[in-house]
Amino acid sequence: MGAQLRVYKRRIRAVTATKKITKAMEMIAASRIVKAQRKVAASMPYATELTRAVTAVATGSNTKHALTTEVEAPTRAAVLLITSDRGLAGGYSSNAIKQADRLTERLRAEGKDVDAYIVGRKGVAYYGFRERKVADSWTGFTDSPAYADAKRVAAPLIEAIQKETAEGGVDELHIVYTEFVSMMTQNAVDGRMLPLSLDKAQEETGTKGEILPLFDFEPSAEDVLDALLPRYVESRIYNALLQSAASEHAARRRAMKSATDNAGDLIKSLSRLANAARQAEITQEISEIVGGASAMADATAGSDK
């Protein structure tokens, strides 16, 4: 019985140590969510105004450009998947990966070849384990992405959209990331970055039905779109990275809170079992003492006779 009590106490110490770790991780994630939310809010005006500028240029000109012109029969698409570098975040990365798989299946059903671009070690490991081809990947900055990281990710995608498909280019750019809705809700979503849908862009910027001003382009509308193309892709990717970072921290906080609560429940259960084992041990010792005293009393009575 004493050995069983020692086992319970050992398990209680181990679970208590784990609880301290998960509680610390929960608090760290909670503190990082606020910073990530502020970055998301700060990036939104720039992304909105840039999309509005692209829409105005595309509407005010008849220039055919990769930024706004859809290919009649697209045959190749690029999908950028944003996951996390670290685990312990619940279903955050797996939900984004599932969304990317659904998007890939849909694109292939439309007769398009798909090139995968991955951000985050979780996505890279998932594709590597299944021996799926990855065009390019980036890791090491998903917790706190900077604009320089977005530029680094955008560079090969911009190069691919500017190439002909016969030369290894793509006709469409898609992105899969986790949208931060609230502390409790984060949704894995996908969207087409290029070619830009003007109707959808007007809905996002709140300019649907608005009469846009007339512009004179210098030197030309095509040159303006060439200059706006990398800025637009970079801003979209940067905003997606920031939203994914905020979602990752929120998912990790929720997962660590659940782990902390479960550890507390397990400690209570083990404590009850340890108390029961200790009471059983005490009862056994009392029974042995009473039995020994009774035997001695009987022996003494027998000798007196």
Rounded Cα–Cα distance for residues 177 and 83 (Å): 7
Encode pLDDT of 40-80 as tens digits.
888 888 888 887 777 777 766 666 766 777 778 889 999 99
Rounded Cα–Cα distance for residues 118 and 153 (Å): 9
Nearest CA among 28, 42, 35, 43 for reference residue 86: 28
pLDDT of residue 62: 67
pLDDT of residue 302: 64
With beta carbons less than 8 A apart as the criterion, state whether 58 and 196 touch: yes
- What average pLDDT score do residues 188-217 get? 68
Encode pLDDT of 118-142 as tens digits.
999 999 999 999 999 999 999 999 9
Tell me how crowded residue 261 is: count the other CB atoms within 10 A of its CB: 13
Rounded Cα–Cα distance for residues 53 and 196 (Å): 12
User: Which two structure tokens, joined as six digits, stand for 27?
Assistant: 């608090």
pLDDT of residue 214: 64
User: Which two structure tokens, joined as six digits, stand for 92?
Assistant: 């955050």
pLDDT tops 60 at residue 301: yes
With beta carbons less than 8 A apart as the criterion, state whether 4 and 245 touch: no
pLDDT band for position 82 (cuts 50, 70, 90): very high
Torsion on CA atoms 225, 54, 160, 223, rounded to nearest 10: 0
Encode pLDDT of 209-263 as tens digits.
555 566 666 777 778 777 888 888 999 999 999 999 999 999 999 999 999 999 9
Q: Which sign does the torsion angle of CA 72, 76, 82, 83 carry?
A: positive
Indicate the pTM of the whole model: 0.83
- What average pLDDT score do residues 141-147 get? 92
Rounded Cα–Cα distance for residues 206 and 212 (Å): 12
pLDDT tops 70 at residue 207: no
pLDDT band for position 112 (cuts 50, 70, 90): very high
Nearest CA among 35, 237, 48, 82 for reference residue 147: 237
Angle formed at CA 300 by CA 298 and CA 301, multiple of 5 degrees? 65
pLDDT band for position 97 (cuts 50, 70, 90): very high
